Amino acid sequence: MEPCGAMIGEQILHSDFQRNLRLLTDQYKSVAEVCRRVGINRSQFNKYLSGRAAPSRHTLQTICNFFGVERFEIRLPHADFRKIVDLKPSNRSADGNSRPYIAYLDQLVRRSRSDLANYEGYYFEYTYSMTRPGLILRSLLKITGEAGTMTYQRLENVARIDRPEPRIKCKYQGMAFYLNDRIFLIDYDSLTGNEISQTVLYPNYQHRLTRLSGLKLGVSTGSLREPLCARVVLESIGRQVSVKKALYRCGLFEPGSPEIKPEIENTITYVSPEGTHHFRVNAE
């Protein structure tokens, strides 16, 4: 009798899954739209909706990531699941239009290589300052992984260490992706909300993680808000550090400062024909 009871339970569970999946799908214009954004064959997805097939563990996770629900939630009794969905923020805007950028980010997260987790920890970021030309800016950056998503935070102190200048603090929040042998960092200024920057890095090819080098694209915070590109180095300083002490070492430095290792300064140095350390836009 136990097997029979277990079979009935599985049938009820399967029926609830179908209804729950249909509820989520009905939030969008069509099944075709959902399939296109999730990256699942429509005929196969229709089998899930009709109960003729059940998704694999990997496919189920992909579906749940897209809709913003957990695997255990989508298997709950339909009445309970509907209550959960009503409380969750929708992937659609207030006027009923879909917000495709959420699906786009989900696709990038899924495609990002899992070994990006090896890069979790704290870094000093070195680049020539876009706000104070000619000075090297050392910032603190932390990469963190949570639920399969890699995020990071960068803290800047745009003030010279060797002079009694007021500390100008900047804070950036972003996401990290490891796509086709390159690491991408995309962030925004979380204090003002008026700046986005992108960094592209070479991954670490050595046994021990020491430094990552690449290019950074952003804007100066001056009145011109000039788009600039600069060389950048991330120096690993460990997974556990004293944030207070690390921040104390962040700020602006003159080229040739004993605080900056010569090999790091050499890596980030680029002098254009105009004598600056940035690749600038020709606005003419």
Query: Mean pLDDT: which of 5-9, 63-67, 238-242 is highest?
Result: 238-242
Mean pLDDT of 238-243: 94
Please, are residues 92 and 27 in contact by the beta-carbon 8 Å criterion?
yes
Mean pLDDT on 260-277 = 90
Q: What is the pTM of this model?
A: 0.66
Residue 283 pLDDT level (bands cut at 50, 70, 90): low
Residue 89 has pLDDT above 90, yes or no: no
Q: For the domain covering 2-111, report its CATH number.
A: 1.10.260.40
Looking at the chain, which residues constitute the CATH 1.10.260.40 domain(s)?
2-111
User: Could you tell me which residue, 22 or 68, shows the higher pLDDT?
Assistant: 22
Mean pLDDT value across the chain: 85
Residue 22 exposed, middle or buried by CB count within 10 Å (0-12, 13-18, 19+): middle
On whether the CB atoms of residues 75 and 63 are closer than 8 A, the answer is: no
Instruction: Tell me what pLDDT residue 159 has.
Output: 87
Give me the CATH code for the 114-280 domain, please: 2.40.128
Domain with CATH 2.40.128 in the chain: 114-280
Alpha-carbon Rg for the chain in angstroms: 24
C-alpha 212/C-alpha 138 separation (Å) is: 14
d(CA 48, CA 172): 41
pLDDT of residue 236: 97
> Model confidence at 118, in pLDDT bands (50, 70, 90)?
very high
pLDDT in tens, 183-235: 999 999 888 778 899 999 999 988 889 999 999 999 887 677 889 999 999 99
Residue 283 or residue 106, greater confidence: 106
252: number of Cβ within 10 Å: 23
Give the residue-averaged pLDDT of 169-181.
92
DSSP, collapsed to helix, strand or coil, labels residue 51 as coil
Taking only the tens place, the pLDDT of each residue in 253-262 is 999 999 999 9
Residue 265 corresponds to which tokens in the numbers above? 């300064």
What's the CA gap between 15 and 85, in Å, rounded?
17
Strands (E) in the chain, as ranges, are 121-128, 136-146, 149-157, 169-179, 182-189, 196-201, 211-219, 227-238, 251-253, 279-280
